[in-house]
Structure formats: structure tokens, C-alpha cells
Structure 1
Amino acid sequence: MMARLSLFADPMIAVLVLATALAFIVPAIGEVRGEAQAISNAAIFVLFLVNGMRIARGEIARGLANWRFFLPLFLWVFGAMPLIGLAMSYVAGTILPPMVALGFLYFGTLPSTVQSATSYTSLAGGNIALSVVGAALINIAGVFVTAPLFAVLASSEVAEIGSQTIFRIGAILILPFVIGQAVQGWTIEWLKQRKSDVAWLDRMVIGIAVYVAFSGAVEQGLATMFGAAQWVGLIGLVAAFLAIGTSGAWIASGLLKVARADRIAFLFAGSQKSVAIGAPMAAILFPAEVAGFVIAPLLLYHLLQLLVAAPVANRLARDQSLG
């Protein structure tokens, strides 16, 4: 199990590395950028349509009924983590370009990642059903909450959500999700039979969004903007954010006085951040020349959370077997 959940066994990592490398080698710039952005927007629409189809309405109802777990998780993910991100962005602003520093706040406002949070909850001996429902609800909330929350906390022109941005969010994220929910009675079983295909759809859409975002950043000089010291600082700050988020989620779940299995579900749903939401949403919220800078901390966080989660999950499983 450890090998299967390791960093290098995750196909998403290969997709992110490939998309980033392509952006540096063959960036979508000039007239091609508009076409690449249109393809990315269409792919994001399809992704959120499928997300609406595959998240069962019954799961949503069960999660909302368990408000003693879901409400604190919601407050941690969209309250505590964004505030940590805000503080980290101020620190990052002293050593990193402003848009990269803003990325700490951006990924702090993102929802949990469903797949890996659930996998590591299972590995650690946690409440799998609660993890699935909790992470799914947090992802749904993120579609509606992340953008306005980020704009309020950022208080900058780049984060201002005007009428055009609101329309794009509604047309590319919310509308397809609502359509998916409406038709899922006819589609959910069909999608369950094609889980592997749907997983690759996720990866392809994220890869396209990352490629387009980093192409814009490359055109703005990303490759020459960072020195060795800044790379060290960026990695160190992302690692610090992960350490604070993980330990904080464990402490917060302990204050709830819930069963250990529920506490484990809270830990992974509360500390993991979703590149599946983050990369596509950044492509909608930010201009192409900005998005690549903003998602740089998110991509590093995603890599580090996979590195850290496996040993943490194994330690929790071992402690539980000894107890």
C-alpha cells in the first residue's frame, strides 16, 4: 500500500511535471495563447459537468446531517487555512515576487483533495465514508466559496472579481456542476463503471490548465526570475505551511473529542489542498500571464503533501494497531 500511494506512483505527478516542462519548452504564447485558453475553458466545463454527475446527492445530504463534523471541517478549511495562507503570503512577499507570494493565500482558500485524502484516511485506519462525504462537500463548497473568499482576503486589484469574472465562474464552473447534478440519475452508474477513464479526464484537464498558466508565466520571464535562494525560500515556506496545516488539523480535530477514526478523516480532509480545483479555477480567475505565478506554491504543496501523507498515515495505522 505504501508503494502504491507514494509520490512517484501517483500519475498526477507525471502529468504536472510534463505540463510544466512543456510550458517551458513550447509555451502557448502570442496568438496561440487565445486558442489554448479556449481549449482549457472547454475542458474545465466538461470536468465540472462530470463532477456534478458523479457526486451523489444522497452523499451531500448525509454529510450535511453530520454537521458536528462537517461544520468544524468547513471552518478549518475555509477559515483557519486561508488565514494561515494570508500570513504566509506576507512573509513570502519579503523574498518572492508578489504574484508568487499571493499564491500562498490562493491555495489556502482552496478545498480539500478528495482522492488522496480518502486514500490516506483508509491507509491510516480512519473513517472512509466520512472522509469521502466530507471531502466531497468541501469541494462543492469550494466552487462557490474560494473565489469570493480569496478576493476579500487579497484586497488587491488582481484579486478583484468583476462582472466578467463572475460570469466566467458561473458559466464554466457552477453551471456545468448544476447540470451534472440535475442529470446524475441517468449518468452516475455509467460513470462508476468508468472510474479509471474519469480519473484520466481529471488529470488531462488539470494538465491543460497548468500548461496554459505556466505558458503565460514563462512569457513573463518566470525562468529567469528565481534565484537559488528564492527557490529555497519558496520550498521552505510551502513546507512550513504544510507542517502548520497538518498539525493544526490534528489539534483541531482533537478538540472535537470525536472517535479516532473520525479524527483521522478530519486530518487529511483538512490539510490536503486540491490542485484539481486550484489549477482550473486559477485559469478563470487570473490572466494567463499571472496564473502561472499564482499556482506555483500550490503545485509544490501538492507534491509535498503526498510525500508527507504516506508516512503520517502509516504512523497513525501503526499506533492504532499497537493501541
Structure 2
Amino acid sequence: MKRAETVTFGGSGLDRAAHLRGDHDAMRRLRASPGARFIAFWQGKVLISRDNVVRLRPDHALVTACSRPEIPLGCEGEEAVFGIDLSDWDPVGDGEALPDGSFFDNSVQRHPLAPECDGFTDLKACMTRLSPRDAELAATGRSLFAWHLSHRFCACCGRESCMVQAGWQRLCPDCGAPHFPRTDPVVIMLVTRGNRTLLGRGVGWPEGMFSCLAGFMEPGETVEAAVRREVLEETGVRVGRVDYLASQPWAFPSSLMIGCRAEAHSDAITLDPAELQEAQWVTREELAAAFAGDRPGLLPARRGAIAQFLLSNWLADRLD
């Protein structure tokens, strides 16, 4: 697919400088450089100002107040960009409202040490407003900090592990087992049959919101087999040919969405109620009307998600 890397979170060409992660002297020099910049996270949210991810200077109060180790996210030119995690901060104590538990978290937490910024914002809420580079940096940092939070202890012996490789690895000090940041492969399918595509609505989703079918891959399974299995399990529709289209890092918390096109060999839908609340075949014309806001009861996948990317390119006949 020629436009594959234009998907949100992809294609910025970030230099991740992986060869420097184990070089302590190089890391110290990059950290001490006046040109170093720091991106702040709080419980998975990223600090935003006017639709840009904020790059803080080394002497900014938020950076100097951070008690947790920073993680290098990559280099821009000769200078490094680090992520810092401020999740210890209590916004309630500073008079800020917390999320209300709704499907979308539109709350913003404003830190008193960063009055010039809009505040900590859910990446899902701002991802379509960010530049490709900002989006990639934010997604990378979000995934890394979430992984450190959920994988503090060695899976082999239970001992608390330590951050090594500048935060891109954990190492057990007892048994020596290394642990690496987790990425979970997920297939997401543009299932078509003639002029129609198969869309589903997940359990608990807002009324009318539909998207492409998706599911986690299983051990020992090919991408093609996962596509056929997931579609059959969720809807009873049998799929034949499967082609890869594009991928998207989905940092909620650590998925890699593998976008495919699948040709359906059957029409009848037998819904798995544990997976989907609804599923339906939608024509190109109906989907185009939904994208234009003229189809009541049918809300296409959210902007920025690979499902919306696949569907819009199908409508424009740009999949090849």
C-alpha cells in the first residue's frame, strides 16, 4: 500500500539511536546537553500546548522535579529527546478534576509548574492534531512507561527487576533474566465482499459507533490465519484471500495493529455476543454518507485509528 506510512503514529522517520542506549557516557552527555529536550507524561497522558507535544528544556521545573528515571526516546539531529514520567503528581491536590470514566477521556490535568502549557491530555483525544514526529514520540513514551509500570517483577523468579539499556530493557538482579518492552500483535481487517464491507460494534461502545473487526494474534499463528479465525469467531463469516495493507503502533497500551484486507466468501452473520454487540454489511455509498455525517445510526471509526485509515482509503480506491 503506497500510503501505508501516512497512518497516525507512523512514518516520521525518528532516529531511535538504539546503539547509544548501553553507552552510559554517551547518555550522560546527551542528558547534560543544553539542547536536550524532555516530553512529560502523567498516567499515560502527554503534556500538550497548542496542539504540539511540549519539549521541555533541561532546566524546566518539571524536569528538575521529576524523581523517576528518564528514558531516551530518540534523537532529532544531534540532540536527544527524553521522556519523563510524572505519575506521582496528585492533580486532585492541586484542584484538578480527574476523568469521569466515560468512553473518551476528555479531561485535561494542568500542572502548576507548567502554567504555559494546556495540560496533560489523553493521546487518543489529541492524536489527529499532532505532527507525525510528535505522535510517534508520544506513542513511544506512553508505551514504555506503561510497560515499566506493569512489568516491575521478573517473570522467571519474581524478584523486582531493574531498568537497564537506558530504560529499554529490564534485568533481574537475581536470576539474570532480561525482559524487553512488550508489543502485542493485533490483526485488524477490512473485510469486503463486492461493494460492501463488514463492520462491527464492540460491547460497551457508544451507540452507532462501528469499526473494522480486530483481534489479538495467537502463538504459532500466521497473520492470515489470525484474520480468518477472528472474522469467523466474531461474525461467522468465512474469509479467503488476505493481503497486508499497513500497520500502526497503538500505544493503548502496547499493540501493533496489522491492517489487512480480507475477501469474504459468505454473507450470513452469526454474532458472538461476547465480542460484538452488532455487526453489519455496509455499502460504499452508505459508508461515504457516514463519513459525511449524513447516515444516522452509523458512526465510522474514530479519526486517527487505522480502521478509519483503511476505510477511507477503500472509499477512495487507494488500497493498491
What TM-score does the superposition give when structure 2 sets the normalisation length?
A: 0.28
Query: Which has a greater percent of helix?
Result: 1
Which protein is richer in strand relative to its size?
2
Q: Of the two, which has the highest radius of gyration?
A: 2
Task: Normalising by structure 1, report the TM-score.
Answer: 0.28
Using CA pairs under 8 Å that are at least 6 residues apart, name the structure with larger relative contact order, 1 or 2. 1
